[in-house]
Amino acid sequence: MKLNSLKLHNFRNYEHLNLEFSPNLNIIYGNNGVGKTNLVEAIYALSLTKSFRTNNDKYLIRNGELSTKIEGEVEENTINNYQVILNKEGKKVKINNNISSKISDYVSNINIIILEPDEQVILKSSPLARRKLLNIEISQLKKDYILYLNNYNKTLKQRNFYLRELMINSNASLEYLDILTTKLVEYGEKIYNYRNQFIENINQYLTNKYQQIFEIGNLALKYNSDYKNKDAKEIKDFYKKNYNREINAGKTLFGIHHDDIIFMLDGKDISEWGSNGQQKNAIFAFKLAEIEIFKQEKENYPILILDDLFSALDKKKVHNIFNLLNDNIQTFITTTELQKINKTILSKAKIFKVTLEGVKEE
Ligand SMILES: Nc1ncnc2c1ncn2[C@@H]1O[C@H](COP(=O)(O)OP(=O)(O)OP(=O)(O)O)[C@@H](O)[C@H]1O
Ligand SMILES: [Mg+2]
């Protein structure tokens, strides 16, 4: 999958921008604060309709403007035009000028894997951040994943509401709770299966990728879920046995909304035990493993974005990473330090220099 061109209108610091990319390596360089990350953020938003560094779309709109438009031409077997239009009221997405009514249909089209400088923060964050990571990745792979997730969350809300009702009113019937539980488990099981499959797939590649770039060590993802080793009937029985606890709490205490993934390095939780570098490397190995899974499932490589990758890596590791990148993977790299990249690689890349005046091809 290749992004042939990108057109921005009032996106972040760009009033108008029109670029054509190499199908292989694109290097975007320039000083701090000139708009390098903004540029790859636009590519990300073209794919996922949102940013990776803010939950509030309004920051993507150029200061003083009312809306922004990101447009790109993506080549896979055919060439398609994609558009994301954001304004204060919300967002619109279009494929070949036709509005897609469902965002879930749109986001599985352009596949992106991004690695950003602070990514390892996710290891120390709450489980919510790690579930978000799973959701973003799996929604690109499976069209119906977001749908199940939305249905699950809706049912969860209803169930929590009804549990509070039961807490206050002991005469309320348990039958309706049964119905909501069955529904919750129905969606929950689908989500669990997708997550479990994804994690198993990642684990097939994880150690290998980790060792290829960095050092020795066995890396594996551990999936913690209330659904683990249980079929739908066993989960429902488990809920039933614990109805009283949930009624007393007035909310749903179990389910895939509590799932978590733990990165285990040599059998130990890397967030508790690993060095900063090891943590960074673990996330990087995870992303590289993902590339293989996307290739396997979508029969095409995703687009890879490495934002400010070299800021914390020495020259040798940068070199190892370039050796790992396959010519078939369209890659976007942003950096302030062009000199860290060796000449042979530079000669093969399309280079864009970003200054406060704009973006120039070199
Ligand atoms: N909505 C916006 N409208 C106008 N300008 C914006 C908007 N959002 C951010 N900017 C500008 O974009 C700049 C940040 O750009 P960006 O994060 O892409 O920098 P960068 O080149 O990646 O820098 P670094 O090398 O430090 O990572 C900010 O200085 C800010 O002035
Ligand atoms: Mg940046």
The 10s digit of each residue's pLDDT in 141-181 is: 998 999 999 999 999 999 999 999 999 988 888 999 999 99
Instruction: Evaluate: CB of 353 within 6 angstroms of ligand 1.
Output: no
Nearest ligand to the CA atom of 39: 1
Instruction: Evaluate: CB of 63 within 6 angstroms of ligand 1.
Output: yes
pLDDT > 70 in the chain, percent: 99
Average pLDDT over residues 274-283: 86
Among residues 167, 165, 156, 178, which one has the least CA distance to residue 256?
156
139 within 8 A of 194, measured Cβ to Cβ: no
Domains of the chain with bracketed CATH: 1-111+300-362 (3.40.50.300), 125-299 (1.20.1050.90)
338 within 8 A of 29, measured Cβ to Cβ: yes
Confidence check: pLDDT of 215 > 80:
no
Q: CA–CA separation, 279 vs 270, rounded Å?
A: 7
pLDDT given at position 245: 97
Instruction: Evaluate: CB of 51 within 6 angstroms of ligand 1.
Output: no
What does 103-165 look like in DSSP terms, one character per residue?
HHHHHTTS-EEEE-TTTTHHHHS-HHHHHHHHHHHHHHH-TTHHHHHHHHHHHHHHHHHHHHH
Where is average pLDDT lowest: 42-56, 58-72, 315-329, 340-354? 315-329
Confidence check: pLDDT of 134 > 80:
yes
Instruction: Evaluate: CB of 42 within 6 angstroms of ligand 1.
Output: no
pLDDT given at position 334: 95
Cross-sheet strand order for the sheet of 112-115? 112-115, 303-307, 331-335, 25-29, 350-355, 358-361
- Atom number, ligand 1, closest to the C-alpha of residue 30: 21
Provide the mean pLDDT of the chain.
93
| Residues whose CB falls within 8 Å of the CB of residue 344, separated by 6 or more in sequence, listed in order | none
Q: Whose CA is nearest to atom 28 of ligand 1?
A: 33
- Atom number, ligand 1, closest to the C-alpha of residue 62: 3
- 72-76: which pairs have CB atoms within 8 A and are 24 or more residues apart? 72/3, 72/4, 72/5, 72/6, 72/7, 72/43, 72/46, 72/110, 73/3, 73/4, 73/5, 74/1, 74/2, 74/3, 74/4, 74/109, 74/110, 75/1, 75/2, 75/4, 75/23, 76/1, 76/2, 76/300
Tell me how far the alpha carbon of residue 349 is from its chain's centroid.
26
Instruction: Evaluate: CB of 36 within 6 angstroms of ligand 1.
Output: yes
pLDDT given at position 312: 65
